[in-house]
């Protein structure tokens, strides 16, 4: 199991939220959406410029901006692999 930032998760990758590292209004907002430690999430997709990201959480879909996703650490079975460059 690897611990990665939610922003780095790949499409269709599933993981469990381990920490939300922000307080104040943004931290409250994130937690009120159900993004709390122990919650399982799946990346549904991303907008064309990779912001925002769509998540599947507790049977619903929500979107987060990358600056919000940066505060969430997720435990995943397999870390995302860097894209391969094709030769010639």
Structure confidence by residue, pLDDT tens digits, 10-30 = 899 999 999 999 989 999 999
Domain that holds residue 23: 2-76
Q: What element of type H or E holds 81?
A: none
Q: In this structure, is residue 86 part of a structural domain?
A: no
Q: In this structure, is residue 71 part of a structural domain?
A: yes
Q: In this structure, is residue 67 part of a structural domain?
A: yes
Output the pTM of the full model.
0.80
Q: Under a CB-based contact definition with an 8 Å cutoff, are residues 19 and 36 in contact?
A: no
Q: Under a CB-based contact definition with an 8 Å cutoff, are residues 15 and 74 in contact?
A: yes
CATH code, domain with 8: 2.30.30.90
Structure token pair of residue 75: 């435990």
- Sorting pLDDT into bands at 50, 70 and 90, what band is 49? confident
Q: In this structure, is residue 42 part of a structural domain?
A: yes
Q: In this structure, is residue 64 part of a structural domain?
A: yes
Q: In this structure, is residue 81 part of a structural domain?
A: no
C-alpha angle 53-57-58 in degrees, rounded to nearest 5: 170
Nearest-angstrom CA–CA distance, 49 and 52? 8
Q: In this structure, is residue 63 part of a structural domain?
A: yes
Mean pLDDT estimate for the chain: 88
Look at the chain and report how many structural domains it folds into.
Answer: 1
The single-letter DSSP state of residue 6 is G
The single-letter DSSP state of residue 64 is E
- Sorting pLDDT into bands at 50, 70 and 90, what band is 36? very high
């Amino acid at each position: 199991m690897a611990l990665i930032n939610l922003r780095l998760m790949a499409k269709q990758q599933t993981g469990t939220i381990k920490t939300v590292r922000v307080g104040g209004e943004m931290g409250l907002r994130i937690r009120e959406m159900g993004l709390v430690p122990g919650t399982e999430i799946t990346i549904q997709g991303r907008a064309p410029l990779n912001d925002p990201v769509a998540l599947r959480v507790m049977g619903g879909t929500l979107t987060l901006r990358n600056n919000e996703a940066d505060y969430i650490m997720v435990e995943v079975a397999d870390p995302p692999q860097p894209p391969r460059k094709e030769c010639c």
